[in-house]
Amino acid sequence: MAARMSKVFLPSRWLVLIGLLLIGVSGQRLASSEFGRPSGIPAEVVPAGVGAVLQPSVGASGTATGTAGMADNRPTFLRIPGLGVAAAVGPVGLNADGTLEVPLSWGQVGWYEYGPSPGEVGAAVLVGHYDSTTGPAVFYRIGKLKQSDIIDVNSTNGTVVRFTVDRLQEVSKNAFPETDVYGKVDRPELRLITCGGDFDKKTHHYLDNVIVYAHVISGSTPVR
């Protein structure tokens, strides 16, 4: 009888585990569309590389020179001294529906790799989670940033690009300002994006986005 019962209950345990995994995958899919649609803004306001899957240029030596043919100055680390934030930065791209991917780790920052790198002319975009299943995540406190606060970004070319905060915006995800975030600008700028607002217990997602707008400080050397 015991052996027979184990045969009956073992599959049910597996079904529960499979169900939990499916919920997790579904949640990640939903979370992956929370930072707007870079490929959905008009082509005339898109800076080079945004909204199109570009491959790194390859030089005569056969080595990649970076996204959109730029020097290899990808961001590697982010520091926000006023908030005590220090986090690794890795590339994120686009989902199949054209929305922005999110970092897989709660503590990592994602850089939109088809847009400008921090320090290049254009709006570089960095995204991070607000919280996690166990507590605050990497961008939990960015809503506390104030005008003129400092943001530093390390790059693979050994430079540190310093930005100063211009303004913060909290907006419904249904009205995400894609042109303001991903659109063309004529100087090196930075966007930090996370979730905010009320938490929807039915969907298990926040209803708003918090967006930080910043520009490079005079004296930093933009990469052209």
What does the pLDDT look like over 194-218, one tens digit per residue? 999 888 888 778 889 999 999 999 6
**Residue 221 pLDDT grade (very low, low, confident, very high; cuts 50, 70, 90):** low
Instruction: Report residue 123: phi and psi, to 5°.
Output: -100, 105
What's residue 97's pLDDT?
Answer: 82
Task: Report the CATH number of the 32-216 domain.
Answer: 2.40.260.10
**Residue, of 23 and 152, whose pLDDT is higher:** 152
Helix (H, G, I), strand (E, B) or coil at 117: coil
The number of beta carbons lying within 10 Å of the beta carbon of residue 223 is: 19
Contact between residue 104 and residue 128 where contact means Cβ atoms under 8 Å apart: no
Distance between start and end Cα atoms, the chain: 75
pTM over 0.75: no
Residue 112, exposed/middle/buried by CB under 10 A (0-12, 13-18, 19+)?
buried
- Say what percent of the chain tops pLDDT 70: 66
Contact between residue 152 and residue 161 where contact means Cβ atoms under 8 Å apart: yes
Lowest mean pLDDT among 46-60, 93-107, 144-158: 46-60
- State the average pLDDT over residues 108-121: 95
Q: Which residue has the tokens 């005590």?
A: 84
Over the range 79-104, which residues count as b (16 or more CB within 10 Å of their CB) and which as e? bbeebebebebbebebeeeebbbbbe
What's residue 51's pLDDT?
Answer: 31
**Domain coordinates in residue numbering, the chain:** 32-216
Tokens describing residue 202: 């039915």
Contact between residue 130 and residue 196 where contact means Cβ atoms under 8 Å apart: yes
- State the average pLDDT over residues 64-88: 77
